[in-house]
Amino acid sequence: MDDRRKNYRPWDAQQSCQEPVSPRDALPKDDLVFFLLDLIPQLDLTPFHQYYAQEMRGQPPFDVTMMVTLLVYAYCVGVCSSRKIAAACERNLAFRAIVGNNPPDFRTISDFRKLHLAALRPLFLEVLRLAGEMGMVKLGNLSTDGTKLGANASRHKAMSYGYMNKQIERLEAEIDQLLKQAEQLDAEQDAALGSRRGDELPEELKRREERLAKIREAKARLEAEAHAKAEEEQRRRDEEQAQRDAEGRKRRGKEPAPIDPTPEDKAQTNFTDPEAKIMKQSNKGFDYSYNAQAVVDAEEQIIVAAEVTSAANDKQQAVPMAQAALDNLNAAGIERPKAADGTPTPTPNTADTGYFSEKAVEGLEQVGMDPHLAIGRQKHHEAPVPPEAAAPSAKASVKEKMQQKLRSATGKALYAARKHIVEPVFGQIKSARGIRKFLLRGLEKVSAEWQLICLTHNLLKIWRRSRSAGVC
């Protein structure tokens, strides 16, 4: 038998445990964490500091710059849970480079994120300003799109309108029965209560009344939403009728059914996050989600606007997102290209067919955009339409004019670029970084979290640009 064995490199677990490890020595010099440690202190963190300036008493909190750097780095690498961030501060060398030997616990991290939601928008603008100064925003093509991110809400904590009515009847009957039983047992309870007053609410009755109150509140929300939809539908019908009257036309077909402001029995609301809505997912399933919107610049995929809506449809988002992008660019000091007379030239804005409507096109043109919105989906087996050079007639509709614009050589090139401008951004966020679900609840908090996700996307782009240029 051959007793020979392979020689291995020396290893002593006890020796490695005794040797001090410095993040600066162990990590690459151009690591993301060192880039953020140098960058974050240079940003304007005044909104974060203002919160603590209001109260000078108590124990000193963790350094604001350290906490901001920790939160930003965690989201950059896709670690969003406060418990996972706290665990990484104890075990991960890059996180240790930020917090040192005094890591915050998960509750401190969670509270810091919740307390400073309002300060995330100015921080988003600070990062956008930095990208503009580095020449990473050219405004040659602003592409708009949306993606569904899961809400922090369980489908098992939801109820339909029809089931609510049944539950309210059941709970009311059970509460009446419990009250009658309480009256019958008053004499026996008085003898057993002793020093207590005797008017405490029985636990079974209290639990049912709390449940009844929550269901009634949820029912009222559904009724308010249904009433708002009914008013919007009535407004739409009135506008169509006014247009027919102005053109001297009559309605074609049958009269539409009267508008019913009552919610459908299958209409649902969630008790965990009432503002989240059931939306269709990319896997063709349905789940409670939010519609995260982004406007991305073509130069280096910098996000210039990031908003969240609870509407599953993108039809109403084109103009608000364009206006948000222009407001952010103005606040960040990024100037739009100008014509010879000094006036800003319309900025090309591309979006898929989900954003198209005549109002959207007109609204985009009014705010200073040059819209390129698809009017329909092209099937895979269809041959591409050749470019058209002729200008549309003066009597052409908005849809026909848009179709003509997208068939021009310039329009085809602009719209084709959309696929490698905005769509990869969502892939980088959801697949590469693993952020597929919001941790916070409520539209306002979710919007702030989306700002944090998008500003970290921009920081990653800036870091990679700096590293490739040898700045880091």
User: Token pair for residue 229?
Assistant: 């939809």
- pLDDT computed for residue 19 by the predictor: 64
CB within 8 Å of 174: residues ≥ 6 apart: 208
pLDDT given at position 450:
96
If we measure between CA atoms, which residue out of 76, 80, 84, 90 comes closest to residue 31?
76
The rounded distance, in Å, linking the Cα atoms of 146 and 352 is 10
Q: In Å, how far from its chain's centre is CA 55?
A: 31
Please give the Cα distance from 137 to 142 (Å, whole number). Answer: 10
| Tens of each residue's pLDDT in the chain, 472 residues | 566 777 777 777 666 666 677 888 888 899 999 999 999 999 999 988 888 888 777 788 889 999 999 999 999 999 999 999 999 999 999 999 999 888 999 999 999 999 998 898 899 999 999 999 999 999 999 999 999 999 888 777 777 767 667 777 777 777 777 677 766 666 565 655 555 555 555 677 677 777 777 777 777 777 777 777 777 778 877 887 787 778 778 877 777 778 777 777 777 777 788 888 888 887 778 888 999 999 999 999 999 999 999 988 898 999 999 999 999 999 999 998 888 888 889 999 999 999 999 899 999 999 999 999 998 776 655 555 555 555 666 677 888 888 888 888 899 999 999 999 999 999 999 999 999 999 999 999 999 999 999 999 999 999 999 888 766 6
Burial of 139 (0-12, 13-18, 19+ CB in 10 A): buried
Q: Contact at 8 Å (CB) between 146 and 355?
A: no
CA distance 28 to 194: 72
Cβ 251 vs Cβ 232: under 8 Å:
no
| pLDDT at residue number 202 | 64
pTM of the model: 0.81
The predicted pLDDT at position 341 comes to 82
How many helices (H) and strands (E) the chain has is answered by: 18, 8
Taking the domains of the chain in order of start, what are their residue ranges? 19-115, 122-153+276-450, 156-190+201-246+259-270
**DSSP-assigned letters across all residues of 2-68:** -----------HHHHHHS---HHHHS-TT-HHHHHHHHGGGS--HHHHHHHHT---SSPPPPHHHHH
User: What is residue 304's three-state secondary structure?
Assistant: strand
